[in-house]
C-alpha cells in the first residue's frame, strides 16, 4: 500500500456522525443529504425561492399562500432561521430543513428566511457568524420584494436549532452591543436545542470531552476553550444577557438531549438578567425525545407540539 493510501485512511478528527477528517485532508460528512430545489410545497402551498447573497452564501425565502395572510392585508412576521449541524454540516437546501421551513412558514404564518452559511473546517468560525450577520442585515434592508411587500420588519424573529440556536444568541447579543442596527428591530429569538457548553459540567452532563473537542475544531481561536462566551454565554466574564436585543425569548429543550441542561440554564439566566421577568422567557421541554428530533420525525406528536408552540410564540403580539 502506498503512503498516500495510508494517509487517506488515517483519521485525525472523528466527530461522527457529523464529520470525519483524514490525514490526507479528505472529509466525510455521513449525514449530508443531496439538496432539494425551492418551489411550491404541495402540502402547505408555501412558495420558496433562493437568493444568492455572496459567492459563498445564499438564503431561501418562504412565502405562505395568500389565504394565510390575515384580513386587511396586514403584513406577516419575519422569521430568520439558522440551521444546525455543529457548524460543519447542514444547508438551507437540505430536505429536512426545507420541509421544516415550509411547515413553519405555514403554521405562523410568516415570511421565513432560511440562511445558508459557510461551514468549518473549510471556513472556521467566525465565518458562519459573519455570513449570518450579513444575511440578517440583508433581511432588515427589505431589499427583496417578498420582504418589502409582505414582511413586517417590526416583528423580526431569529430562530435556529443546535449550532443555529447558538448563532441566534450571538446575533441578538451583537445586535444589542453595537449601534449598527436599532435593537428594537428584533421582536424575539427562538433557540431550539441550542449548542452551548462549558468547561465545568452542569446538571447531568458528562465531562466536556466531545463537545469541547468539536467546538475547538470549528473555532480554533476559542478563548478559554469551551468557556469562550460564544459557546458558554453564562461563563464568568461573558457579556451580560441583559444585552440581548429582543423583546422576548423562547428556549426549547428535549429530555433525551445532552444539551438540555445548558438550554435550561440559559433560559434561567435570561430571566435573571431581565430582573426576574419570567414572562419574557418561554421554556418548552419535550419529553421522551432527543436532539433535533423534529427534523427526523416530523410526524411525531412532540414535533407537532413544538411547531404549534413556536408558531404561537411568533404570531402573538
DSSP assigned state of 166: H
Phi, psi of 257 (to 5 degrees): -105, 130
| C-beta of residue 294 within 8 angstroms of C-beta of residue 235 | no
CB 294 within 8 A of CB 100: yes
**Residues annotated catalytic, as ranges:** 162
Give the largest CA-CA distance in the chain: 72
> Beta strand 111-116 with 76-82: parallel, antiparallel or unpaired?
parallel
Distance CA 131, CA 54 (A): 9
Q: Which grid cell sits at 182?
A: 436599532
Q: Specify the pairing of strand 186-192 against strand 248-254.
A: parallel
Amino acid at each position: 500500500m502506498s503512503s498516500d493510501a495510508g494517509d487517506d485512511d488515517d483519521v485525525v478528527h472523528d466527530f461522527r456522525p457529523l464529520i470525519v477528517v483524514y490525514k490526507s485532508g479528505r472529509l466525510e460528512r455521513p449525514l449530508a443529504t443531496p439538496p432539494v430545489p425551492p418551489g411550491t410545497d404541495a402540502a402547505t402551498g408555501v412558495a420558496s425561492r433562493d437568493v444568492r447573497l455572496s459567492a459563498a452564501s445564499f438564503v431561501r425565502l418562504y412565502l405562505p399562500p395568500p389565504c394565510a395572510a390575515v384580513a386587511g392585508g396586514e403584513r406577516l412576521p419575519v422569521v430568520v432561521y439558522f440551521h444546525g449541524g455543529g457548524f460543519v454540516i447542514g444547508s438551507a437546501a437540505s430536505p429536512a430543513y426545507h420541509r421544516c421551513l415550509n411547515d413553519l412558514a405555514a403554521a405562523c404564518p410568516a415570511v421565513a428566511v432560511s440562511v445558508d452559511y459557510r461551514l468549518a473546517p473549510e471556513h472556521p468560525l467566525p465565518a458562519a457568524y459573519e455570513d449570518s450577520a450579513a444575511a440578517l442585515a440583508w433581511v432588515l434592508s427589505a431589499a427583496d420584494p417578498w420582504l418589502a411587500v409582505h414582511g413586517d420588519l417590526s416583528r423580526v424573529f431569529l430562530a435556529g436549532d443546535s449550532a443555529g440556536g447558538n448563532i441566534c444568541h450571538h446575533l441578538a447579543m451583537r445586535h444589542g452591543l453595537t449601534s449598527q442596527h436599532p435593537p428594537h428591530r428584533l421582536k424575539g429569538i427562538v433557540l431550539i436545542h441550542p449548542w452551548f457548553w462549558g468547561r465545568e459540567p452542569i446538571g447531568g452532563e458528562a465531562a466536556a470531552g466531545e463537545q469541547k473537542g468539536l467546538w475547538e475544531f470549528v473555532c480554533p481561536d476559542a478563548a478559554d476553550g469551551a468557556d469562550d462566551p460564544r459557546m458558554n454565554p453564562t461563563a464568568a466574564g461573558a457579556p451580560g444577557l441583559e444585552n440581548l436585543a429582543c423583546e422576548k425569548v423562547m428556549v426549547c429543550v428535549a429530555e433525551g438531549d445532552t444539551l438540555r441542561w445548558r438550554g435550561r440554564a440559559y433560559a434561567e439566566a435570561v430571566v435573571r438578567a431581565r430582573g426576574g421577568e419570567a414572562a419574557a422567557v418561554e421554556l418548552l421541554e419535550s419529553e421522551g425525545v432527543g436532539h433535533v428530533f423534529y427534523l427526523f420525525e416530523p410526524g411525531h406528536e412532540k414535533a407537532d407540539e413544538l411547531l404549534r408552540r413556536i408558531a404561537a410564540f411568533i404570531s402573538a403580539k
